[in-house]
Amino acid sequence: MTCKNCETSLRTDFMFCPACGSKTDAGRITFKKLWADVKERFFDLDNTFFRTVKTMTFRPEEVVGLYIDGVRRRFMNPMSYLGVALGLSGILFFIMQKIGFLELLDFEFLGSQSDVPANGKVMDVIMEYQTFVFLMYIPVIAFAGILSFNSRGYNLPEHFVTAIYTLAHISIITFPISLVIILFAPSVYMGYSFFNIFLMVLFSAFVLIRLHPYKNLGIILIRALIFAVLWIVGYFAISIGIHALLLLSGVVELSDYLPQKT
């Protein structure tokens, strides 16, 4: 018998392939088998996804460090984890579009005027290209990380792995809260989004501190501050870049940044 996934030769009494771990059952697909697969992948509390979420929350250095060191099957790989995060993010933005989200937003939070046309146009673009905007934060976390925390001597691609795990995890664990706010209190979403940014910076620093330990508390605090400053600089660079790109492409005009005349 041969494994249909990796073509390894198997004994006839094998239920799983010892090389790739896939089941050897090659019978026809039935609804019973489909439901069993769904339960195994998503509702088994000991499955890879839940194990990754739990460990990333409390011991992120184990998930990231083991992956970089070559242990690739104990937790979800970073791209699969990112795929889950993008899927959940897509659900949120789909709901936003369906409920007329823009009309419910309070752009006056932190002094941003609600009657400025640019706000709506920029939000439209962000919602349409939300996946691309989401991915732009990965290099921000990676570059800020390598410039502030690197006691293990990781190279830039390895810091990208750290950034992918970190960003995906924040998106996954905040999904339930974001969903509730969008459905029941969309007017406070702008305030919540700023809190989410603070949480992202805080958790990113937590991951780096756990992954790159330093003995001196003062050094840790200084490096965390450097990371936060670099992250904020990157965040504003992305925001400015989006506005500049929309101005150059003609999607937004300078007059759109002025309040509408009543």
Contact indicator for 179, 95 with CB cutoff of 8 Å: yes
pLDDT value at position 97?
73
DSSP 23: B
> Three-state secondary structure along 206-260?
HHHHHHCCCCCHHHHHHHHHHHHHHHHHHHHHHHHHHHHHHHHHCCCCHHHHCCC
Residue ranges per structural domain of the chain: 1-42, 78-257
pLDDT band at 1 (very low <50, low <70, confident <90, very high): low
| DSSP letter string, 140-173 | HHHHHHHHH--TT---HHHHHHHHHHHHHHHHHH
pLDDT of residue 110: 47
Of 190 and 172, the one with more pLDDT: 172
Instruction: Tell me the C-alpha distance between 64 and 47, whole Å.
Output: 18
Q: H or E element: which one contains 183?
A: helix 156-184
Q: Quick one: tokens of 159?
A: 């810091």
pLDDT of 101 higher than 80: no
| Lowest-confidence segment of 48-52, 63-67, 113-117, 238-242 by average pLDDT | 113-117
Strand partners, 2: 9
Question: pLDDT confidence of 11, banded at 50, 70, 90?
Answer: low
pTM listed for this prediction: 0.79
260 burial type by CB count under 10 A (0-12 exposed, 13-18 middle, 19+ buried): exposed
